[in-house]
Amino acid sequence: MLPEHKLKAFLDLLKSSGREELAWMNGYLAGLLASGQEQQAPVPVQPVSQSALPKITIAYGTETGNSKKLAIDFATQAKKNGINAKLVSLDQYRVNDLSKEEYFFTVISTQGEGEPPAAAKKFYDHIHQNGFKLEHLKYGVLALGDTSYPLFCKAGEDVDSQLQKLGGKRIVSLQKCDTDFQTEANGWFSQVLQNLHVNSNGNGAVITAPVTAKKSTGKKTYTGTILSHVNLNDRGSEKQTYHIEVAVDGEPDYQPGDSIGIIPKNHKVLVESILALAGIDGEKSLTWRNENISIKNLLTHKLNIAYLPERVVSKYAAIVKQEIPETKIGLAELLRIYPVKDAVQLDEVIGILEPITPRLYSVSSSPAAHTGEMHITVARDTFCINKEQKFGLCSDYLAQLPENSVFEFYVNRNNQFRLPAPGKDIIMIGPGTGIAPFRSFLAERDATSAKGRNWLFFGEQHFISDFLYQTEIQNWGPEI
């Protein structure tokens, strides 16, 4: 409620305002509240007539739905501000329309190793071709990513710089967002809306200075302690699938459908062999990304040394001045076959290594059924290189973590993958470890007495040895 003097001023303002002005105020307040920046003095925006407001296109490129969700939020806010906003997925976008756009905003995530999502590939390739200009285009890019990846928000960065190279005018700085993207995204929406209003009032607000991406706040990490660690496959199976129960410090904030991100540790034996091959003292300290850290800890916890991406192998080849064939190879093998000459080369090699990327595992527990715990279902990844058996880094790390060990993780939300309303029937198809999120769905429905019916289709190699969660599933339903 407003105090009397403010209420009077407010009512006077309303009485003296026309319909269009009221619509503008409504949109302005909605944008301000949604941005969470109401405590900061708002920059006054001059009301403009509806017809003067620009038409904008908001195009999103997404893999798991985060960019789509933000693009929808942005379009909603723009419409509330009286802006004619067209929303489109980049895979549906007609690339030839780009030259006709006046205002074009992209919300795009990064996937793979710094690549655009599959749905944005056509658009991404198109703007990377030469031979055309976008001189009338005014644009802005909101980039989604995860700071745990070496090429943080690379696809968004590329789109932002490429549109500028083609002659586009950036009207808002590139905003890079980590997995906790909402606050940064809201701030960026407000900034765009402000700029659109400013532009409509005839004051150009084109940003020509180099991109100064604001730093993201980072994601919340949890510490988990392994309570139970069981191989779900029976004797005779060709697989190892671990059910891992984790006690979490503080109530974990997640929903069925979410996954957890884990940064695995490199194996002690591998780290020791690299230190021996390189002839370095593991206790020696160095500075890595502003952190003072021993080489041993750096190799154990931070750097990817197990299988190096091609781009790192070719940088290694350039340092040691050797031809190295394209193959799946780790740092230890490289050092053994193509040794470094001296300490200078070794420093250079450490400089080209990339951080360990997180691995995502679907959560197989339910917050309603397993209070204070989170469960995951992990298949140990096994493969052969030159007839030698090898294991995937993270699944091997998790497969070997004894009970009571402690590790860190974060929650990766997936708002596109949620249980429907409790009364709705669901059909779930989850072979192998694909059962994980559906165990979570079923446990949640069971614990909350949801009335909808549930069908689960599950398959694995052998009924006898590979029927994951057999007893639990049979207890839920009579039919097999």
Ligand X SMILES: Cc1cc2nc3c(=O)[nH]c(=O)nc-3n(C[C@H](O)[C@H](O)[C@H](O)COP(=O)(O)O)c2cc1C
Binding site for ligand X (CB under 6 A): 62-67, 109-114, 117, 144-146, 149, 151-154, 179, 360
Q: Can you state the percent helix, strand and coil of the chain, rounding each to 5? A: 35, 20, 40
Q: Which is nearer to ligand X, 114 or 252 (CB)?
A: 114
Residue in the structure block whose two tokens are 């969470």: 36
Q: Which is nearer to ligand X, 48 or 155 (CB)?
A: 155
- Nearest approach, Cβ of residue 30 and ligand X (Å): 24
Residue in the structure block whose two tokens are 């756009």: 101
- Nearest approach, Cβ of residue 471 and ligand X (Å): 32
Residue 309: closest CA among 356, 243, 268, 271: 356
- Nearest approach, Cβ of residue 411 and ligand X (Å): 11
Q: Which is nearer to ligand X, 27 or 358 (CB)?
A: 358
Q: CA 193 to CA 199: how far, in whole Å?
A: 10
- Nearest approach, Cβ of residue 145 and ligand X (Å): 2
225: which residues sit within 8 A by CB, 6+ positions away? 246, 247, 249, 404, 405, 406
Q: Which is nearer to ligand X, 111 or 200 (CB)?
A: 111
- Nearest approach, Cβ of residue 342 and ligand X (Å): 33
Q: What is the DSSP string of 142-155?
A: EEE--TTSSSTTHH
Report CA-CA distances (Å) from 322 to 48, 58, 317, 353.
64, 47, 5, 18
Residue in the structure block whose two tokens are 């890595």: 288
- Give the pairing type, strands 84-89 and 138-144: unpaired
Residue nearest ligand X, CB atom distance: 145
- Nearest approach, Cβ of residue 68 and ligand X (Å): 6
Q: CA 69 to CA 416: how far, in whole Å?
A: 9
Q: Which is nearer to ligand X, 59 or 278 (CB)?
A: 59
Q: Which is nearer to ligand X, 179 or 377 (CB)?
A: 179
